[in-house]
Structure 1
Amino acid sequence: MAELNEVQAQIAKLASENPLDALAAIHALKNEGGKIVPELLVQLRAAKDPVRTMLVIVLGELGPLSGAAAEQVAALLDEDNEKLRMAAALTLVRIGSESVKPLQQIWAAKQNQEQHQEQNQEQPSFWAAWALSIISPALVDDSILERLEQAQKKPDTPVEASAAKEALDWISANRVEPE
């Protein structure tokens, strides 16, 4: 593994105002492979939002190699920052099957929370529903379908309508109904 100082230097470059420098840092970190996941997670807990989003993107670039990060990345679906939530959802999809359990836990917790509160937070459950739909359409239940349909008809953000349509189309194309 590259010296920890080199990894930290690349992480610092993720905050660069120059997009080419940030992109080069993503590429350099990706080339380190899964062995840098523990350091990325440490930094993810400490960094500010723009860098946190970039760290999540790096974890997504590592795909299944960052499976150990799935739970911590899934927790980001509760954040207020829309870009961070979207990056977390996409990263969970790229991680793949290791993301299913944390996403199911978030979905269940949000459903329970929504049943006990008049005021609910729709965003986290939407992105959990979206990611679960893309990773494993067979696991989609009626509550997830309802949430996606709701987001398509009355999105909370402009991106939600497109993402909801994508998930519904994906489910339709890839879900095998029991006979």
Structure 2
Amino acid sequence: MSYCETQALAIGYGAPLLRDIALHAERGKILALIGPNGAGKSTLLKTLAAQLPTQGGAVLLDGQNLAAYTPNARARKLALMLPHTARTELTTCFDVAAAGRYPYTGRLGVLSAADKQQVRAALELVQAAPLADRDFTKISDGQRQRVLLARAVCQQPEILLLDEPTSFLDAKGKAELMTILQTLA
């Protein structure tokens, strides 16, 4: 059964870039979007994550229209990892990964001991635990990718939407990432 699907989806900025998109993603499966730069892959992922409004049609998540979910409920169901995230000064890698726990922390964003353990486990999973206390702006792009993946994993989503997840990773890092994604699936 499809967990995430689209019905006659149209995506774009103001005017539709692509129309009549039919996508069906199942639990436990990895689905890859392949295409040239500018084809609309990132726009589709942002629309699936409700960061961009649909230009028509619908996105269904677990049989329910994505628009019906509250932001926190949606964040518990799916996470989007973008390769180009705004960098904030004086923020540790632990803090960046911990941002993924905010759908669970309440309005004040205070992390419980269980939340902190979830962050540590996610950093460990993506092999970024040694970076926890480092400044996010002072690590390599490949290391940033791992920390951003840890942030997405911290949300404990049922669907991970990853935009260019292997960007900035060397061949070994790409192979490790694929193994991590297979484990998560």
TM-score, structure 1 as length reference: 0.30
- Structure with the larger strand share: 2
- Structure with the larger helix share: 1
Q: Which has the higher contact order (CA 8 A, sep 6+)?
A: 2
